[in-house]
Chains A and B, each alone.
Chain A
Amino acid sequence: MDLLVGQLFTGLSTGSILLLAALGLSLTFGQMGVVNMAHGEFIMAGCYTAYVVQQAVGDAGVSLLIALPAGFLVGGAMGLVLEALLLRRLYHRPLDTLLVTFGVGLILQQAARDVFGAPAVNVSVPEFLRGGVDLLGVTVPKTRLFIMALAVVSVAAVALVLRFTPAGRRIRAVVGNRDLAETAGISSRTVDAATFFIGSGLAGVAGVALTLIGSTSPTTGQSYLVDAFLVVVAGGLGRIKGAVVAAVALGAMQAVFETYSTASLAKVGVFIVIVVFLQLRPQGLFTLRTRSLA
């Protein structure tokens, strides 16, 4: 019984971690169609932002609060530079984009290794997030509760921005039909840059949060990249809603499979389910109806 409640929570928690890692990608890949293999390294940049801030500030609690927005800016800035220097020239060549961003990812990893050293660094967890809370007889780590809350806040923020702000409206217009949006006077270049900024910034935020549970090393981002793509693909391109449902579903599946087999087998199980699912529904859980001709 305890194990079951624990696993239910684990599913939600794993899902929220997946969601946090995938949210930025659902903007850049889902909305813009850019396969950004360096997304994991933007997450890693967020991790190191948390580390640098903590070294400078000292107090783990205060530094976490500073690091969250700082991580957003660092990730976002890196995304902006990548977009302006490389991706902008490659919008019509998705396969080249894949290779170029993969290369950028490798460069960023090596850069992190040169700057911070190869061994993992330690980002301390603030005192108020250490230990666990007893919920229905199960000890739930506070760090995981924090990450769940952060995932909810991030999704809400993205949804609100897309729905209610002028910038969000412009992003949706360009996704819906780029030519028509341009005809209506929207600068699709500016919109692309803004979308990429937000998407990459969210990767930075995810990185800061993930230091609470995982390690901070040059290869940290890689472990999240494949899962993030899975979430976006399974959820359906272009839909934040899809990413949310897919992340929670994948997290729950992983947790349930793992209870009855081993972690490695659970991973295989999840992959099989996704492959079968995509055969039946190649467009993912939710589809975006666009007025685009493409």
Chain B
Amino acid sequence: MPLRLNARHLARTLAATAAITGLVATAACGSRAGEETAAAESCVDTSGDTVKVGALNSLSGTMAISETTVRDAITLAVDEINAAGGVQGKEIEIVAEDGASEPTVFAEKAEKLIREDCVAAVFGGWTSASRKAMLPVFEDNDSLLYYPVQYEGLEASENIFYTGATTNQQIIPALDYLAETGVKSIYLVGSDYVFPRTANAIINAYAEAHGIEVLGEDYVTLGSTEFSTIVNQVKAADADAVFNTLNGDSNVAFFREYANVGLTAEEMPVMSVSIAEEEVGGIGVENIEGQLAAWNYYQTVDSPANTAFVEAFKAAYGADRVTSDPMEAAYNSVYLWAATVEKAGSFAVADVQAAADGVSFDSPEGTVVIDGENHHVTKTARIGRIDADGLLYTVWESDGPIDPDPFLDGYDWAADLAVTE
């Protein structure tokens, strides 16, 4: 006779499962803290013909949807550099690991890459949670992480190079653009985690200083697909524009609902900061055509470097593949690391850090230059419009590359926001 499970049993079992997961996570943290004293002795061996680097991206779990494409871009850059003779005459060898969309796994694998595989640098990470989990590992072991995704700023570690945009290279230009086009009121919709919360805090401060009215601010849990209420509220609020910081699959449900209640890009445009070429396909072009996005790179950017990048990428991974901002930033990060090593004449972390300031790369988005102070790079901001072919086309771009300002020190209205460390 089958044992019957009642509601209490189920609840208890689920609670137990959660407790065990928690214990494992705590244990993982605990063991890391214990090893700190033994750290800092680098085991990187560069005496041979090859040099090892780590690629740490989620190939499974919810983030695999985005991070596998970043892995492809990293691999492409490494292959190209090797074909051109390598770094310091040495061939780059990738040690690949799967972060499995779990911050604790990222921290664990980062430790493994540094201590067991003895890699000279690691490329990867996507969510801020994964970066925050890896940060102490790289600092304790004095190793290097190249992080390729736009993020919420307010961070600058000696051991991390940030090749994606910080807020003053993406969100603030997006707001400038909206203000320029006459937007007087906005509605904020985002996923409930650190990036949208921080982004919206910045947007609120900006709006107050620039006379824009914020008519509503809504968050949904990550992965949520229920947007009926929010879209009804957005419609009732009748704002001039919507600022969208939703992440991942939620965008699909949001834009379908948005189109279905009759809202269009003409009457209430949506400015998104997490939708790139890869995501448009999943949402369906018919649901999102005409909407806006803010990034630093689009596949359609017109430059010789980009033409070469797109051609090489399609040749390596298939003609139906598209290139996106985080992929380009990851591709750049490998080249920037290689250029810094060449300039330093050494793979040692301290030498790379010392040589980093002013290192530049003629990237697909334009020339990017490392800022030695905060380890971010200069980036050109671009507002893109999603077209019927599923690609984004630049409708506005900043006057040249914008210097990174992760703590927003250069903006008076942001004085209360940025807690300078």
Determine which of B1, B225, B281 lies in contact with A178 in the assembled complex, contact meaning CB atoms within 8 Å.
Answer: B1
From A130, A132, A179, A282, B1 is in contact (CB under 8 Å) with A179
Q: B210-230 vs A: 1/0 string, CB under 8 Å?
A: 000000011111011110111
Q: Told that A178-B1, A214-B252, A215-B282 touch, could you supply 7 new A-B pairs with CB distance under 8 A?
A: A14-B228, A109-B60, A118-B64, A122-B285, A139-B235, A210-B225, A284-B7
Q: Report yes or no: A259 in contact with B229, Cβ–Cβ below 8 A.
A: yes
- Given the known inter-chain contacts A118-B65, A237-B4, A278-B8, please indicate yes or no for A220 contacting B232, CB distance below 8 A: no
Q: Which of A2, A3, A14 contacts B226 (CB 8 A)?
A: A14
Q: Is there contact, CB below 8 Å, between A120 and B249? A: yes
Closest A residue by C-beta to B258: A141
Contact B249 A217 (CB under 8 A): yes
- B220 contacts across to A, CB distance below 8 A: 263-264
Cβ-based interface call for B78 (8 A)? no
Residue in B closest to A141 when the chains form the complex, CB atoms: B260
Bound together, the chains give a CA A237 to CA B2 distance in angstroms of 14
Q: Is the CB of B7 within 8 A of A233?
A: yes
B249 in contact with A220 (CB, 8 Å): yes
A213 touches B256 (CB 8 A): yes
Residues of A within 8 Å of B253, CB to CB, are 213-215
A142–B285 Cα gap in the complex (Å)? 19
Assess whether A154 is interfacial by the CB under 8 Å rule: no
- Is A276 in contact with chain B by the CB < 8 A criterion? no
CB interface residues, B 139-165, toward A, < 8 Å: none
Contact status B262-A139, CB under 8 Å: yes
Q: Which residue of B lies closest to A10 (CB)?
A: B228
Cα-based distance from A264 to B66 in the complex (angstroms): 24
Say whether A219 faces chain B, with CB atoms less than 8 Å apart. Answer: yes
Are the CB atoms of A132 and B261 closer together than 8 Å?
Answer: yes
Which single residue of chain A is at the shortest CB-CB distance from B67? A118
Instruction: Tell me, in angstroms, the Cα distance from A83 to B182 when the chains sit together.
Output: 60
How many Å lie between the Cα of A180 and that of B260 in the bound state?
Answer: 53
Complex Cα distance A217/B230, Å? 23
Residues of A within 8 A of B (CB): 2-3, 6-7, 10, 13-14, 17, 29, 32-35, 91-95, 98, 109-110, 113, 118-125, 130-132, 138-139, 141-144, 178-179, 210, 212-220, 222-223, 229, 233, 237, 254-255, 258-259, 262-264, 266-267, 278, 282-284, 292, 294
Residues of B participating in the A interface, judged by any CB pair closer than 8 Å: 1-11, 13, 59-62, 64-66, 68-69, 192, 217-221, 223-226, 228-230, 232-233, 235-236, 249, 251-253, 256-257, 259-262, 278-279, 281-286
Task: Please tell me which one of the listed residues B66, B232, B236, B284 contacts residue A124 in the complex, with CB atoms under 8 A apart.
Answer: B284
- How distant is the Cα of A139 from the Cα of B282 in the complex, in angstroms? 25
Pairs A–B under 8 Å by Cβ, sample size 14: A3-B236, A91-B2, A94-B3, A119-B69, A120-B65, A125-B284, A131-B262, A178-B2, A217-B65, A222-B62, A223-B224, A233-B7, A237-B4, A259-B233
Nearest 9 pairs of A and B residues by beta carbon? A120-B282, A215-B252, A141-B260, A214-B225, A10-B228, A122-B284, A215-B249, A258-B229, A263-B220
Chain B residues near A141 (CB-CB < 8 A): 257, 260-261
A183 → chain B, closest Cβ, in Å? 13
* Contact status A278-B11, CB under 8 Å: yes
Give the residues in chain A near B279, CB-CB below 8 Å.
Answer: 119-120
Given contacts A94-B3, A118-B68, contact A215 B192 (CB under 8 A): no
Bound-state CA distance A216–B256 (Å) is 13
B258 to chain A, nearest CB (A): 10
Contact partner of B232 (CB less than 8 A), chosen from A10, A130, A284, is A10
A119 B281 Cβ-Cβ under 8 A: yes
Tell me whether B221 and A267 are in contact (CB under 8 A). yes
Q: Which residues on the B side are within 8 Å of A217 (C-beta)?
A: 65, 249, 282
Q: B6: which A residues are within 8 A, CB to CB?
A: 237, 282-283
In the complex, the answer to whether A13 meets B3 with C-beta atoms within 8 Å is: no
Indicate if the CB atoms of A121 and B228 lie closer than 8 Å.
no
Shortest CB-to-CB span from A259 to chain B, Å, is 6
Of all chain A residues, the one with the shortest Cβ separation from B218 is A262
Q: Are A132 and B260 in contact (CB under 8 A)?
A: yes
* Chain A residue nearest in CB terms to B3: A94
Q: How far is the CB of B252 from chain A (nearest CB, A)?
A: 3
Given known pairs A13-B228, A121-B282, the reply for A219 and B249 (CB within 8 Å) is yes
- Residues in A with CB closer than 8 Å to B286 are 124
Cβ distance A21 to chain B, nearest Cβ, rounded Å:
11
State whether B225 touches A215 (Cβ < 8 A): yes
Interfacial chain B residues near A210, Cβ < 8 Å: 225
- Pick the contact of B13 from A98, A132, A215 — CB < 8 Å? A98
Instruction: Check if B230 sits within 8 Å of A222, measured CB to CB.
Output: no
**What is the distance, in angstroms, from A199's C-beta to the closest C-beta of chain B?**
14
State how many angstroms separate the Cβ of B93 from the closest Cβ of chain A. 25
